[in-house]
Amino acid sequence: MIGIDLFAGAGGLSVGAVMAGIRVELAIDIDRHALATFRSNHIGTKIIETDIRKYKPEELPKRKEPLILFGGPPCQGFSVSNQRTRSSKNDTNWLFVEFIRIAKGIQPDWILFENVTGILETAGGQFAEQARDGMEKLGYTTNAGVLNASKFGVAQKRSRFFIVGRKGGPMPELPQPITSPEVTVSDAILDLPNLENGAQTSCLPYKMDPASPYATLLRGNLTESANHLVTRNAPLILERYKHIPPGGNWEDIPPELMANYKDRGRCHTGIYHRLHPNQPSVVIGNFRKNMLIHPFQDRGLSVREAARLQSFPDWYEFKGSIGFQQQQVGNAVPPLLAKAVFEQIIMNSSPQYGDSRKCRY
């Protein structure tokens, strides 16, 4: 199966697709920093840096293999933390229309649309509804639902909304959650090196053997990994960290250390959250806004630690400044969650599911 990744970003969906056995031949995005990471890790994939609204689907070469079009349009306008532009007036919220336009132009065998769960609430859910209706008007049978990454072997509680569409045939199935115990923060990062506040040495050896099958899987045969970069926080910030227990947040910080906050009551629970070592991580998002704290050390998370919690393999190296790397990791779809969805699509494509397997390209 051939894959095309729209709104590719740093490549979380594409990593999952490759893990499932899909050959990703084309990736499109406008973010040159994210594409630098994608280009470095997906050798052989054609990359187009452009505004998706300028891309013409007829430029796609004809293929004989079954084709899947996948992607997640920008989600900042759908985020529950974004109340200022979370409405139909935000132009970026309408980029799903471009996804449908390209699907109409190339008529893939399969479509996979992904986004944050906030899309179900923004403007009364009209964006999610219109995206699904747009696929069905093109002749796709669709299924939709919310999947939590922690139920699919990812060390993070991160829910994402998916629409899966197939050209003809019965309604496609979404993957079922894995019943095994959830992967914890310790399972994910315990073997990674100890770091200081403001660490800037990218490549470092592991400090111990893998702490779990999860770490073994992501580590592979490597002896060292990259992206061990940590934001340098001011002494006052580090002093605040010392008062927060595992699973705690800003509420555990003495009031005198929070004097610069005019209204502490407006702080959300994700601010100054120390990860609990024996639980899956909370959502890895905006590093500067959330300020997630290492479970044992008084510092923020490194880029690699966040990538582990997102389920990126250790060989996957992020490019650019530390700020760009953090943004790329925070915006990504967990690869192991994506892999589960793609594997279900491949299973749905097998003869017993009634797929005619007529190749269009």
> In terms of C-beta density within 10 A (0-12 exposed, 13-18 middle, 19 or more buried), how is residue 185 classed?
buried
Parallel, antiparallel or unpaired: strands 204-205 and 224-225: antiparallel
Look up the CATH number of the domain holding residue 151.
3.40.50.150
Asked if residue 202 and residue 338 are part of one domain, the reply reads no
**Phi, psi angle pair for 264, to nearest 5°:** -65, -25
Average pLDDT, integer, range 153-176: 94
Asked if residue 256 and residue 224 are part of one domain, the reply reads yes
pLDDT at res. 270: 73
Which secondary-structure segment (H or E) carries 1? none
Quick one: tokens of 50? Answer: 């452009």
Q: Does residue 63 lie within any of the structural domains? A: yes
pLDDT at res. 356: 40
The alpha carbon dihedral of 282, 286, 290, 294 has a sign of positive
Asked if residue 222 and residue 164 are part of one domain, the reply reads no
Q: Does residue 154 lie within any of the structural domains? A: yes
Phi/psi class of residue 211: alpha, beta or left (left: φ > 0; alpha: ψ in -120 to 50)? alpha
Quick one: tokens of 183? Answer: 């992967």
Quick one: tokens of 100? Answer: 């449908």
Asked if residue 292 and residue 222 are part of one domain, the reply reads yes
DSSP letter, residue 231 = -
pLDDT at res. 4: 96
Asked if residue 341 and residue 247 are part of one domain, the reply reads no
The alpha carbon dihedral of 172, 177, 183, 185 has a sign of positive
Q: Does residue 15 lie within any of the structural domains? A: yes
Question: Containing domain of residue 108, as a range?
Answer: 2-178+334-353
Q: Does residue 189 lie within any of the structural domains? A: yes
Asked if residue 216 and residue 165 are part of one domain, the reply reads no
Is 50 exceeded by the pLDDT of residue 357? no
pLDDT in tens, 214-264: 999 999 999 999 999 999 999 999 999 999 999 999 999 999 998 877 676
Number of domains in the chain: 2
Q: What is the mean pLDDT of the chain?
A: 89
pLDDT band at 290 (very low <50, low <70, confident <90, very high): confident
> In terms of C-beta density within 10 A (0-12 exposed, 13-18 middle, 19 or more buried), how is residue 242 classed?
exposed
The alpha carbon dihedral of 32, 199, 254, 292 has a sign of positive
User: Higher pLDDT residue, 349 or 41?
Assistant: 41
Average pLDDT, integer, range 99-127: 90
Quick one: tokens of 260? Answer: 């610069």
CA–centroid distance for 206 within its chain: 25
Taking each helix axis from N to C end, the angle separating 12-19 and 335-348, rounded to the nearest 10 degrees, works out to 50
Q: Does residue 339 lie within any of the structural domains? A: yes
Residues in the chain: 361
Is 60 exceeded by the pLDDT of residue 89? no
Q: Does residue 359 lie within any of the structural domains? A: no
pLDDT band at 88 (very low <50, low <70, confident <90, very high): low
Is 60 exceeded by the pLDDT of residue 106? yes
Asked if residue 40 and residue 89 are part of one domain, the reply reads yes
pLDDT at res. 113: 96
Percent of the chain with pLDDT over 90: 75
pLDDT in tens, 292-345: 999 999 999 999 999 999 999 999 999 999 999 999 999 999 999 999 999 999
Is 70 exceeded by the pLDDT of residue 360? no
**Other Cβ atoms within 10 Å of 199 Cβ, number:** 20
Asked if residue 65 and residue 92 are part of one domain, the reply reads yes
Residues ≥6 apart with Cβ < 8 Å to 262: none
Separation between Cα atoms, residue 129 and residue 135, nearest integer Å: 10
The alpha carbon dihedral of 297, 199, 157, 267 has a sign of positive
Quick one: tokens of 113? Answer: 């649309």
Q: Which residues are catalytic?
A: 75
Is 70 exceeded by the pLDDT of residue 351? no
Look up the CATH number of the domain holding residue 281.
3.90.120.10
Asked if residue 170 and residue 312 are part of one domain, the reply reads no
Is 70 exceeded by the pLDDT of residue 124? yes
Asked if residue 280 and residue 156 are part of one domain, the reply reads no
Q: Does residue 199 lie within any of the structural domains? A: yes
Quick one: tokens of 89? Answer: 């007036």
Separation between Cα atoms, residue 288 and residue 108, nearest integer Å: 39
Asked if residue 341 and residue 327 are part of one domain, the reply reads no
Which secondary-structure segment (H or E) carries 137? helix 126-137
Asked if residue 173 and residue 75 are part of one domain, the reply reads yes
Q: Which of 39-43, 61-65, 106-110, 227-231 has the lowest mean pLDDT?
A: 61-65
